[in-house]
Structure 1
Amino acid sequence: MLSAIGLDEAQETAYRALVGLGAAEVPYLANRLALPEDDTVRTLRHLERQGLVAQSSTCPGRWTAAPPAVALGALLTQQRHDLDRAELATALLAEEFRGQAAEPAVHDLVEVVTGTSAVAHRFLQLQLGAAHEVCALVTTTPAAVTDVENDAEDRAVERGVVYRVVVERGVLDAPGGLGRLAEALSRGEQVRVVDEVPTKLVVADRALAMVPLSARGAAPSEPAALVVHDSGLLESLLGLFEAVWRQAVPLRLGADGTSYEAPMGEPETSDLEVLSLLLAGLTDASVAKQLDLGLRTVQRRVRHLMELAGVSTRLQLGWYAYERGWVAREGQARDAGR
């Protein structure tokens, strides 16, 4: 609990014990902590340097705890100060990086990462650095990174990062696969299923992607991956993900834990009226006025359509609506009226 301010388990336990006792001598404290006396003394010395404990001035060998509100408050203030400085340094470095990367060299747009630990570490960094969205294509083929599940994923979701994941149908039958997908769904992640995905792929914030270097089905070798920065290649990988996402079917879990794939569903006529006017170039406010609706109602219906289509932008929604036949192109409308 106090690890955030630099205390390990033994140090925290010792401080808590002294807070409860008020004061104690080393032999008694060592017995209470189940530690050798030498280790107990070292622990107390560390706490003393942190300003959390002090030796009694009237009774040599006796240690007392500093008031938590004062001692811990000072450490927390220092911690916040250090974090503020780190945040400022990060912002300055990011600005410097953007300046240097305004016209990056071609060889800087793609990194080659080799080795199981290196690939796994880069994959971890990808998720830890995500601030908005992580998109992933998951295959049944084992590799250094088998799917989009690790501790970084949990932390990313807690920060509000949106996960959109497409898995191959074979993942549902893999050992433990259904359980991992159930955990992902319970965290609010969006999971869809297709018969087969073209490749493993992870994209963070539409700015950084990671894809295996070896071709699918190739003979096993040392794991290697490409890390792709903002470039035309990254846009192509994003296009690949979105194409697979549109064709995939949302995964749902029944009450008994079995999986089923939910139909995409069809929008209501009133929602399509809103969409048609938006595609005609009207603003949200103009649509609301035309249909005698509230502005928030219009925006809520658009969000509903985006959720139904499984897209994240209105541009994608328009494309999806045409592809699915929700709205007709002008030529199609004339042909239908003949």
Structure 2
Amino acid sequence: MLNAIGLDEVQESAYRALVGLGAAEVPELAHRLTLPEEEAARTLRRLERQGLAAQSSARPGRWVAAPPAVALGALLTQQRHELEQAELAAALLAKEYRAEASEPPVHDLIEVVTGAAAVAHRFRQLQLGATREVCGLVTGKPMAVPSTENSAEEQASTRGVHYRVVIEREVLNGPGSVSGLAEALGRGEEVRLAERVPTKLVVADGTVAMVPLTGRDAEPAALIVHASGLLESLTGLFESVWQQSLPLRLTPADGSGAALVEGAADGPDDVDLQILSLLLAGLTDASVAKQLDVGLRTVQRRVKRLMELVGVATRLQLGWQAYERGWVSRVTPG
């Protein structure tokens, strides 16, 4: 947990132990952490250099922990400062890059990545670098990055990045695919199903895309496409497939938690209806999110989609349309 401010696992364990004990000698700490005394002593000296521990002046050989609020606060402030400096440097480099290459050569608009490790790394980079939306087409053919191992998707989704993914029906036959899709839907991602998907594709924030390169060589390779006419074509391909696909949603299954079902593309799903009912009952977005155990942005995104679906501009109009369309029951005073 404290690795973000420069502590490794051993240092964090030592500091936590020292905080819990209040003060300790090297043998006592080494026994508590099941470490050799020499390593425990080295760890304490590293904590001392970071301002997290100090030797007691009253009892030589005894170590005390620095107050967490003060010591960790100082490290956090330092990390924030370093991060701000890195962000500033990145912004300056980006500005310099734009100034030097306002119209980059064609070869700068396309990258070729070869090798399973390189493809997987770039795929992860695209998702972790996204700030708004990741769109994807997934086929049933073997891939360099199995969906069950795509931890970057979960991290990006947790940060509020919106996912729209179309999967080929064959994908459902893969091991762990159904449970992985259920988890994705539970995070508020939008998933649709198509009989056939023309190619694998990932588009991040509408600014960069990744498509596989196929050939006789079995080694995985991918094409990274930056802002260009080709990127616009790939984005258009995704939107076309998306519009022609049916949404997948979760529905309760007898004795088995939940099941995946195909839904109509022009109506609300069960989660949408629950959100509408709670909002019409007077709950705030935050309360609805807590009640349904989903993210606040998921609630707001679904409400926005429903407003677009019925063609209204306000939530009041949405409530009226929900009653008119029979999505929710009109409650009258008893």
TM-score range for the pair, normalised by the shorter chain length: 0.7 to 0.9
Show the counterpart of 1:234: 231
Once the 2 structures are TM-superposed, how far is the Cα of residue 146 of structure 1 from its aligned partner? 3.3
- Would you say 1:304 and 2:306 are equivalent positions? yes
Distance 2:116 2:154 in 1: 22
- What is the TM-score when the length of structure 2 is the normalising length? 0.77
* 1:276-323: CA deviation from partner (whole Å, max 9, x where unpaired): xxxxxxxxxxxxxxxxxxxxxxxx9985364589xxxxxxxxxxxxxx
Show the counterpart of 2:170: 170
Percent identity of the aligned residues? 66
Structure of larger gyration radius:
1
Distance 1:3 1:66 in 2: 18
Show the counterpart of 1:68: 68
Show the counterpart of 1:51: 51
Distance of aligned partners of 1:61 and 1:170 in 2 relative to their CA distance in 1, 3 Å threshold: same
Larger mean Cα displacement after TM superposition, 51-60 or 125-134:
51-60
Show the counterpart of 2:12: 12
Show the counterpart of 1:262: 263
- Would you say 1:250 and 2:251 are equivalent positions? no
Show the counterpart of 1:130: 130
Distance 1:306 1:244 in 2: 20
Distance 1:302 1:29 in 2: 55
After TM superposition, the structure 1 = structure 2 runs for residues 178-193 of structure 1, keeping only pairs within 5 Å, are: 178-193=178-193
Q: Return the letter of the residue paired with 2:197.
A: V
RMSD: 2.2
* 1:136-168: CA deviation from partner (whole Å, max 9, x where unpaired): 000111121234962211121122111000000
* 1:55-94: CA deviation from partner (whole Å, max 9, x where unpaired): 1223322111112222112111111111111121122122
Q: Secondary structure at the match of 1:255?
A: strand
* 1:111-141: CA deviation from partner (whole Å, max 9, x where unpaired): 1100000000111111111111100000111
Distance 1:100 1:156 in 2: 31
Q: Return the letter of the residue paired with 1:260.
A: V
Distance 1:115 1:308 in 2: 47
- What is the TM-score when the length of structure 1 is the normalising length? 0.76
- Would you say 1:90 and 2:90 are equivalent positions? yes
The question of whether the paired residues in 1 share the 8 Å contact of 2:148 and 2:176 is answered with no
- Count of residues paired in the alignment: 274
Show the counterpart of 1:224: 221
Q: Secondary structure at the match of 2:60?
A: coil
Distance 1:101 1:126 in 2: 22
The question of whether the paired residues in 2 share the 8 Å contact of 1:264 and 1:308 is answered with no
